[in-house]
Structure 1
């Protein structure tokens, strides 16, 4: 690979990284190419070179999230359901600690009706993957005898997913929201104590 190609790839990554930060703090509709070009010290044309339209950038962001998420799930292939649940909680903590960001699935759900069609398609797939992960955790937990709850795994998983999404938004106003929600979720699932999880893997990168 040539030096020029390396430089282009580095610029593309810097654009994506900054766009991600803006997305999680402002929302997709809350930033423009001007925000990115000003922060990076480049012309708007440099951004258009890599992403001709803003929805091209948005699709690339979602696709990157989906790749990260799949790697994250694969890393937990040999974990039991209780440990996966604590990892799920850890994602919410991670976003909150980073300037009280909202998780990407929460952003895309909130702005879904205003997103371009190609972004909607990618966002819907990403959100469904995250929701199905929550469903899989509670289903496997009950099958293994670790969790006990009323209702179908699909409904309980959806409730868990929705609670954490909403909790991140509420935590911007009330910092006690996330700990309270996590404690209640454990109670709902029949887990008396949190499972200690010293693994620090995230979906960043």
Structure 2
């Protein structure tokens, strides 16, 4: 049962990162997982429930990955940059919460709350490393990812964020 739930979350995450909240449906998720839409509804009664669960899991996974990067010796800002860069190079998709934030007021409240929780986490985390600069660093990372994705070239991200890497 948990494998099916994870598969639903994985597909929904990819679809949201590709097309935003408005660009996916339970039917698409069900088709890709190989189940009926009713099975998606069993795990997530509504689309906002599913998207909020995806965003919460994204934040938790990002936090765990950040901890691993820092345990490996990366400083906080370099770790954030590296995780964004890896995601972009891996699949060319946007940060989940960045793309959700771009949809703004059109999001259901529970989805907007989870997306904003990631952004708040990012700002607080980056402020610990660079006091007073968290929002600027996160904005630079999210913006660089957006431009690189639009250009279809991960090197744009590297160029746009190279000043964040300690010399």
Q: Same fold, TM exceeding 0.5?
A: yes
1:19 CA displacement: 0.6
* Correspondence for 2:101 among 106, 109, 117: 109
Please tell me whether residue 52 in structure 1 is matched to residue 31 in structure 2.
Answer: no
Identify the residue that residue 110 of structure 2 maps to in structure 1. Answer: 118
TM-score, normalised by the number of residues in structure 2:
0.87
Size of the aligned set, in residue pairs, is 165
Please tell me whether residue 133 in structure 1 is matched to residue 133 in structure 2.
Answer: no
Identify the residue that residue 92 of structure 2 maps to in structure 1. Answer: 100
Compared with structure 1, are the counterparts of its residues 168 and 14 closer, same or farther at alpha carbon in structure 2 (3 Å cutoff)? same
* Structure number with bigger Rg: 1
Distance 1:10 1:57 in 2: 15
Distance 2:89 2:71 in 1: 27
RMSD: 2.0
Which shifted more, 46-55 or 94-103?
Answer: 94-103
The structure carrying a bigger helix percent of its residues is 2
1:132 CA displacement: 1.3
Instruction: Name stretches of at least 5 consecutive residues in structure 1 with no aligned partner.
Output: 1-7, 139-152, 193-205
Q: Deviations over 1:174-194 (max 9, x none)?
A: 3232121222334xxxx33xx
TM-score, normalised by the number of residues in structure 1:
0.72
Identify the residue that residue 143 of structure 2 maps to in structure 1. Answer: 166
Please tell me whether residue 15 in structure 1 is matched to residue 5 in structure 2.
Answer: no
Which shifted more, 42-51 or 94-103?
Answer: 94-103
Instruction: Name stretches of at least 5 consecutive residues in structure 2 with no aligned partner.
Output: none
